[in-house]
Structure 1
Amino acid sequence: MEPVLIAAVLVCFVVVFAPGYLCLQGLLRRHDVAFACAPLVTLPLLTLLGVAFDAAGASLPGAALFGAALLAGVGLGAAGQLSWRARGAHARPRFSPAALNLPPDLGKFLALYALAALAVATVVLLVNLDGASSFARRDDSTVHLSYVRAFLDTGRFSTLSASSFLDAGSPGGYYPAAWHVVTAVTASLLSNNVALATNALAVVCIAAVLPWGLCLLHAALFDHDRRTLAWGALVAVAFSAFPWSFLVKGQLLPNLLSFSLIPATMFLLVASVKTRRGEGKAELALLTFAGVVAIALCHPNGVFALGIWAVAFLASAVLCSQAPALRSKPRRWALAACLIVGACALWYVCYRLPFFQGVVGYEQENVLTLPRAILGGLSFMFAKWGGLQPFLSVVVLLGIIDTVRKRRLRWLSVSFAAALGIYVASAALSGEVRHILSGFWYTDHYRTGAMTALFAIPLAALGTSCLAAFFTSLAQKAQRRLQTQKAAPGDAADVQRRGETDGAAEGRGGARASKGCRIAGCLATLCLFGVVQFLPGSIPVSDQMISMGLPRIATSLKALYSWDDIYTADEQAFVQEALARIDGESFVANVPQDGSAWAYGTDGIDVLFRRCADNGSNDLPPETNELIRTRLDKAATDPAVQAAVRDYGIRYVLLLDEASGTDRTVTDKRYTPENWAGIEGVTEETPGFKLLMSEGDMRLYEIEAADAPA
């Protein structure tokens, strides 16, 4: 990892965790719990403060917004302390972590989860970045980077008025922009380097937010099972479908942050249910609500994913309850059934709400047949054939079997099965059933597959623990066999009898394997994980090439973040030089597919077309948009074009790959040549255009007609 990226990650870490921790350390007895849950408070604070400042008409730097969030965190923490003191309680609230069976050395497990996640992130992502400020050449990235840049350019950080064209006076509209606000605040502390801040936040999500939330959840679910809690660190970020596919597809960066917050929120829900009244139950419920708000502000579909997990857990809690009012088994089943039916009814009501119609009605092409979708889900490939993860398939199956024995954890398997069904519906079904089940995720099999992978992580932790125990038992048997062979004939029978006695006691949980056997079991599990998860190469199966999931993700990320493709390093250098030659107040006409769609988000040049769409996706009237794209080269003679460039402040033309070039680095994403004939038709001989810069097949022109009198 480059030093500049390390510094950026540390800055982003402080932005994401500091305000929330300052608030929660005054409300919770455990500093480790407060720290791990901090993002659930930080994100609503930053987002709501951004809305408040914008509503007040205040424009401010991102660093000032962060300072306000820090002060708000301190104020809320102090208010919580004063509230408890006013009620005659102790200086700290009565939240009792003992009710959750959290280990006293939870901080060590948090460190283990972070280190394991960082190790996987290094192999999959960090070594494949083409520099700290590289970025993924993906279509959705143009929008996300532009939103962040617009926040920085205007000093407006409101989720109610988000737009790629805030800098041009666009009023914007509602968009779940918590990810964009956090990235903008981080970028403001990094010399407005949006790409660097984006990479830093991705690392913080994958190496801190997600694994720490999972660590808390595992600690609450697995009680005193330290072995399973520790093995959970190994699988926290091992699934290619989540978190890694969100960096390959889209990119779906807001969804990455949204899903990363789910485990910590789920932990708070579990804590609020397990904690007795008078021990912070109400406060934990309030923090759970804050987590739901944080998830919704990043991406609303995360709330529906959380809802599936939450309903399964609550129904299980009802069925396993020992409360006096629920001692009757029929009453428990009736209440659990009412909970599930009510949740399904609420789901359908949301499906019918006008607010969600643009999402649930979104149609995506089916990519798999039903059998392949089921097989792909069970093998954790999820998307198209290619990213096999057999180690995870085995340990998840072992985890499911383990939950059959542990009644209180069966809801983990039930919720996993529900998510798998939603994934299959999104990947293989059609009609309204598909939209009802998976519409909240845009019927996108990548998102539903990611949800299924998230739900599989606790099962994988259980299964990996079982696998390690199996290898340990094999080591024990091998050790006994060696002892029997080395013993004298008279002692061999005694050794054998002791082994049989120890084996029987082990089956009852009364024997403990030797340290050497436990180490051997751990090493065998780690080696199997490393070999199977990171096995290089591909295997031809039918008409497809099958490879392991994480190596395939790593290969994809290396290509996506390369400065040799689409928006190249030379083109960025040309754009940065062009910024010194233009007035900074006028629009620059461009062809987005030549890489310039990313130029506003990464470098701040005011290109007119900021997405690889048929019309470039901007706020111009449709007829003006088409006029510029198809007839701009006629600016010297066409009065309509002259009026358009004057009225909308279009003064320059940027071409990063001339149409006549022989070594073009472009994308064909939604590209039709005739849609851009007016811009690509501009050459050095075109009347009405003045060449300002030229290098290779890159050109910057000034539109002389922009200065012509009306």
Structure 2
Amino acid sequence: MDNVSWWAVASALAAGCLGLSVPGLLATLPLRLRPLPRLALAAPASLALIGCVGVIDGLLHLRFHWSHVLIAAAVIAAVLWPIREKRPLWSCPRLSALLPVTASAVSSVAFALVLLHQVPSFDLFSQSYDNLFHLNATQSILETGNASSLQLRTLINTDRTLSTYPAGWHTAAAMICQITGVSIGVAFNALAIAVVSVAWLPGIAWLTSLVVPQRQRTAGLCASLLLGTAFGFFPYALLIWGVLYPTFLAYALFPSGLALAMLLAHVWLPRWAPAVSDQVRPWAWNDRWMLLGLAAVWWLGAFFTHPRSLVSMVLLIVPLVLWICARAIAVAWKAGGARRRRMLWWLGGAFAFVSVAAVAAILVVFRVFHVASRPVGDHLNGPQAQAVQTVWDGLWQVLTQNALVGLGLDMTGSLIILAVVVLTGLVIALRRADLRWMVVAYALIAVLFALAAGSNSDMTKILTGLWYKDRYRLSALLPLLGVPLATLAVLRIAALTRWPRVVALGSATIVAASGWAGLWAPVGAAAAHEYRLENVKTTDFVDSRQIAFMQQVADVVPADQLLLGDPWDGSGLSWLYADRRPVFPHLNGQWDPDRLLIAQHLDQIESDPAVCTALRHLNVHYLLVSTGEFDGGDPSGNKFAAIDAAVSQGLFTPVLSDGESALLRIDQCS
């Protein structure tokens, strides 16, 4: 595959950054927001718009187009315009703003280089199980114009007309393709960099600004931006193992969501909530409702990225809520009298609610895990859920910032300087009453990660089942708190010197550079392995030879026909390279009766008329085959055995062949 031009890469990166920011910035333009929260909330607002427009276009039978998102943003801005603040919406940025902008740019470039420096071409994609669906889902949006999250999963649940799957990632990637004309592989890589630059870094900077001293705000912003891409657990691991694009996108929104939660607690419960330092101006009563509205928009945007990941957001918020409740109880108890009695009534009600919720959770666990007929131990035994070490190994990895980035024990190695800084930040936070909830949250995540990676017990599966007992989904939450904690440590050390701002910036740069240097070789090697494209096919989906062959298929197979093939041999990517929709666009799915019949009985085509009937219903006349199978084949049994059997029996007529791949014509049903 030819290398992609720098112009194509630059245009895709620009389209990704603009697509994730401009709609949200336009829609929130009339609101009273300072620059940092405005930038941090742009991506969640944009994703909320992208998701809603996709659903509305689907309901109205309109083809999705990126311009529809801008139109929706402009309409919302027009509706909100009467409540705009009576002052200029834009002002000339101060010179000090150039420092965070520079830090953000350096961090984004460092992330891109660490992740992709060993990948030979920018259009390569991760050859992993989940990515076959993500690639075809994006191609489906481009081909059919249907970007509705209510129907995206019908791509693989073909027995239904309504099957939901969050389309945020896929629609954003499709927008890049629409705007620039680049391939989906280029769009995916560009979007990953854009997500870090536009969503993750502004969000983590905003979250950090709420906990650092106000006099050190600029230095804190720069430090957090630099440190934001120095951790292996996130953003790198989710882009190498899996690959978990929707989860990666959802997690990139979490810093801004947690910052919103802290501000909501601060303005609605000022007596008990943790103090925040981001108080350039006092919050008015109307701002409270604005924050509630922004929180609703954030949750909507996160819902269109990956709803299941919102469980992780709840895990982050629970320690904050418990801290607020503990403060409220202490204040009421100290006041005594009627206030203490009311507190006891509230406490009793809360205890009853928690008890009922616990019983309900146990019943849900029994139902979801089918405990009555199947032991808990029989669940969550996939490769991502298998224990690969001891629990103590996991805790040590958290302490030393030694991140798991691949299946098994592929690790980045210990990042000692970063680890020391984070541990120092934990000590500082532990000594601040308003930040102890962050220490509890960090410890809770660390323990759950260690259990998921180091234990296969039934209790571990119950505790981590909401994350599929996936160690990567849990460990990716650590940097969200690790960055503010490390920034606190850097600022505290710098405050002991005569030049605190200079020392803070220098220290943050050194710590971040040590992280990038430590991640450079292991992350690059792991990414090169996942984004590989060999000349000879082994266990990948496709190789360069098969791609070249599929590009010839379009000259033979009419555009209105579906192309049959076993998706495990790479034929599931015919939509990308042959522009012909595959009958089976993923390795697994809930297939309709016609597809099931073909998968299970194609080798009986000459004796069972129902096979030809199914082929006619789907308008299938050609079969694409190739040697080799992804990852050695289906570990749960070959669901497409009849396709392979029909090929081995020589039932069909060869049309094209290169010795590795072949296009066969099905003549029995003509």
Q: Which residue of 2 aligns with 1:377?
A: 398
* Other-structure match for 1:214: 204
Q: CA deviation at 1:639?
A: 4.0
Contact 1:49 1:69 in 2 (8 A): yes
User: Which AA in structure 2 matches 1:387?
Assistant: T
Name the SS for the 1:654 alignment partner.
strand
Range with bigger deviation, 349-358 or 361-370: 349-358
Pick one of 238, 243, 247 that aligns with 2:235: 243
Among 222, 244, 254, which residue is 1:230 paired with?
Answer: 222
- AA in 1 matched with 2:412: G
Mapped to 1, the partners of 2:640 and 2:347 lie a distance apart of 59
In the TM superposition, 1:69-88 aligns within 5 A as 69-82=69-82, 84=83
Match of 2:56 in 1: 52
Q: Give the C-alpha shift of residue 411 in structure 1.
A: 1.9
Measured at CA, do residues 604 and 636 of structure 1 come closer, stay the same or move farther in structure 2, by a change above 3 Å? Answer: same
Residue pair 1:315, 1:340 contacting (<8 A) in 2 also: no
Aligned twin of 1:423: 449
Establish whether residue 266 from structure 1 lines up as the match of residue 252 from structure 2: no
Q: 1:512 aligns with which of 498, 507, 524?
A: 498
In structure 2, give the amino acid aligned to 1:368: Q
Q: Give, in angstroms, the shift of residue 37 of structure 1.
A: 1.2
Give the structure-1-normalised TM-score. 0.78
Contact in 1 for aligned 2:583/2:595 (Cα 8 Å):
no
Residues in 2 aligned to 1:317 and 1:457: alpha-carbon distance in whole angstroms: 23
Letter in 2 for 1:130: P
1:459 and 1:178, CA in 2 relative to 1: closer, same or farther beyond 3 A?
same
1:4 to 1:623, Cα distance in 2 relative to 1, 3 A: closer
Q: Which position in structure 1 is the counterpart of 2:142? A: 152
1:297 and 1:54 map into 2 onto residues whose CA distance is 15
Contact 1:4 1:132 in 2 (8 A): no
In the alignment, does 2:460 pair up with 1:434?
A: yes
Q: In structure 1, how many angstroms separate the alpha carbons of the residues matched to 2:359 and 2:168?
A: 27
Residue type matched to 1:655 in 2?
V
Percent identical pairs in the alignment equals 20
Per the alignment, residue 320 of structure 2 pairs with 313
Which of 386, 394, 413 pairs up with 1:365? 386
- Tell which deviates more after alignment, 437-446 or 106-115: 106-115
- Give the 5 Å matches for 1:580-619: 580-601=555-576, 604-613=579-588, 618-619=591-592
Whether the 8 Å CA contact 2:227–2:508 is kept in 1: the answer is: no
CA distance in 1, matches of 2:227, 2:201: 9
Structure 1 residue 203 displacement after superposition? 1.0
Q: Does 1:572 align with 2:558?
A: no
| Secondary structure at 2:117 match in 1 | helix
Residues 468-503 of structure 1: per-residue CA shift (max 9 Å, x gap): 66xxxxxxxxxxxxxxxxxxxxxxxxxxxxxxxxxx
Of stretches 181-190 and 376-385 in structure 1, the one that deviates more from structure 2 is: 376-385
Q: Which amino acid aligns with 1:411?
A: W
**1:44-193 → structure 2 map (5 Å cutoff):** 44-56=48-60, 58-60=61-63, 62-63=64-65, 66-82=66-82, 84=83, 90=86, 107-108=97-98, 110-163=100-153, 165=155, 171-191=161-181, 193=183
Give 1:353 deviation, angstroms: 5.4
Q: Quote how far apart the aligned CAs of 1:181 are.
A: 2.3
Q: How does 1:256-655 map to 2 (within 5 A)?
A: 256-275=248-267, 276-278=283-285, 280-316=287-323, 328=335, 349=360, 357=368, 362-363=380-381, 364-383=385-404, 384-385=408-409, 386-388=411-413, 389-431=415-457, 433-466=459-492, 512-513=498-499, 518=502, 526-527=509-510, 529-531=512-514, 533-535=516-518, 549-564=519-534, 566=540, 567-601=542-576, 604-613=579-588, 618-620=591-593, 624-628=597-601, 631-632=602-603, 635-636=605-606, 639-655=609-625
Distance change >3 Å, CA 702–CA 177, structure 1 → 2: same
Q: State the secondary structure of the residue aligned to 1:558.
A: helix
The match for 2:270 is none
**2:669 is equivalent to residue 703 of structure 1:** no
Using the alignment, how far apart are the partners of 2:95 and 2:335 within structure 1?
39
Aligned-pair distance for 1:144? Answer: 1.3
- Residue equivalent to 1:693: 656
Q: 1:212: Cα distance to partner?
A: 0.8
Deviation at 1:104, TM superposition (A): 7.0
CA distance in 1, matches of 2:253, 2:570: 33
CA shift digits 1:151-207 (9 cap, x unpaired): 222222211112363897952401222222222233222337322222221111122
Structure-2 change in CA distance of 1:430 and 1:463 (3 Å): same
Shift in Å, 1:5: 1.4
Task: Please state how far the C-alpha of 1:69 moved relative to its aligned partner.
Answer: 2.1
- What is the rounded CA distance, in whole Å, between the counterparts of 1:705 and 1:300 in structure 2? 46
Cα drift, residue 362 of structure 1? 4.7
Q: Deviations over 1:651-679 (max 9, x none)?
A: 1111232xxxxxx5853142699765544
Q: 1:357 to 1:683 in 2, by over 3 A?
A: closer
Q: CA deviation at 1:146?
A: 1.6
Q: Is the 8 A contact 1:269 1:284 kept in 2?
A: no
- Secondary structure of residue in 2 paired with 1:652: strand
Letter in 2 for 1:409: L
Q: State the Cα RMSD in Å.
A: 3.8
Which residue identity is paired with 2:175? V
User: Unaligned 5+ residue runs, structure 2?
Assistant: 268-282, 371-375
Task: Decide which structure has the larger Cα Rg and report it.
Answer: 1
Q: CA deviation at 1:143?
A: 1.1
Q: Which amino acid aligns with 2:438?
A: L
Secondary structure of the equivalent of 1:706? Answer: coil
State the shift of 1:601 in Å: 5.0
One-letter code aligned to 1:306: M
Whole-angstrom CA distance in 1 between matches of 2:352 and 2:104:
38
Q: What is the CA distance between 1:91 and its match in structure 2?
A: 6.2
Query: 1:285, CA displacement in angstroms?
Result: 1.8
CA displacement 1:584-614 (0-9 Å, x = unmatched)? 222222232322233335654222233345x
Distance 2:202 2:18 in 1: 15
The answer on whether the counterparts of 1:593 and 1:612 sit within 8 Å (CA) in structure 2 is yes
Q: What TM-score results when the alignment is normalised by the length of structure 2?
A: 0.82
SS of residue paired to 2:489: helix
SS, match of residue 163 in structure 1: helix
Equivalent residue number for residue 279 of structure 2: none
Write the letter of the residue equivalent to 1:426. Answer: A
- Post-superposition Cα deviations, 1:618-675, rounded to whole Å, max 9, x if no partner, equal 44457514435xx43x645654543443343321111232xxxxxx585314269976
Instruction: Work out whether residues 610 and 618 of structure 1, in 8 Å CA contact, stay in contact via their aligned partners in 2.
Output: no
State how far apart, in whole Å, the 2-side matches of 1:337 and 1:3 are. 64
Letter aligned with residue 666 of structure 2: I
The one-letter amino acid paired with 1:627 is Q
| SS of corresponding position for 1:186 | helix
Contact 1:117 1:206 in 2 (8 A): no
TM-superposed deviation, 1:129: 3.2
CA distance in 1, matches of 2:643, 2:635: 13
**Aligned-partner Cα distance in 1 for 2:48–2:570:** 34
Letter of the aligned partner of 1:702 in structure 2?
R
Q: Shift of the alpha carbon at 1:36? A: 2.8
Q: Distance in 2 between matches of 1:356 and 1:196?
A: 42
Answer 1 or 2: higher relative contact order, Cα 8 Å, separation at least 6: 2
Question: Which structure 2 residues correspond to residues 32-47 of structure 1 after superposition, within 5 A?
Answer: 32-47=36-51
